[in-house]
Amino acid sequence: MRLVFDSHKVEVMNRTLLAVIGGSAFSILLCLCVSFLLPIEKMHAVAWSTILVFIVFPAVVMWSFGVNNLKKAASFLSFLIVFLGAICWLLLDLGKPL
């Protein structure tokens, strides 16, 4: 069981960082969006989307260790994070009483 992508420890570290930091940011933001958009009672929306985090996060972790081109993957994920962050920010603002 050798590292197939690259045996350098740097590669492992980069992928771990991508998985943990990128993965958690992505999954939390995605689920936060979902929690605003779900057309059900607020408390149930919160509960469902919190549960969803624990499905999305491991998927992203596996993806970041399995993907071939790390640089491409990192920039793709960063783009998604920024995009989702913007949407969340908008939704948070919309949700506030005027």
CA-to-CA distance for 63 and 50, rounded, in angstroms?
Answer: 21
Q: Does 10 bind another protein (CB under 8 A)?
A: no
Q: Does 28 bind another protein (CB under 8 A)?
A: yes
CB 26 within 8 A of CB 53: no
CA-to-CA distance for 30 and 6, rounded, in angstroms?
Answer: 30
Number of residues that bind another protein (CB under 8 A): 32
Among the listed residues 25, 3, 12, the one whose alpha carbon sits nearest the alpha carbon of residue 70: 12
Q: Does 44 bind another protein (CB under 8 A)?
A: yes
Q: Which of 9, 10, 41, 94 binds another protein (CB under 8 A)?
A: 41
Q: Which is nearer to another protein, 26 or 57 (CB)?
A: 57
Least separation in angstroms between CB 3 and another protein: 6
Q: Would you call 55 helix, strand, or coil by DSSP? A: helix
Q: Does 13 bind another protein (CB under 8 A)?
A: no
CA distances in angstroms from 50 to 8, 13, 43, 73, listed in the order given: 35, 28, 11, 25
Site of interaction with another protein (CB under 8 A): 1-5, 28, 31-32, 35, 40-51, 53-54, 57-58, 61-62, 65-66, 68, 92, 95
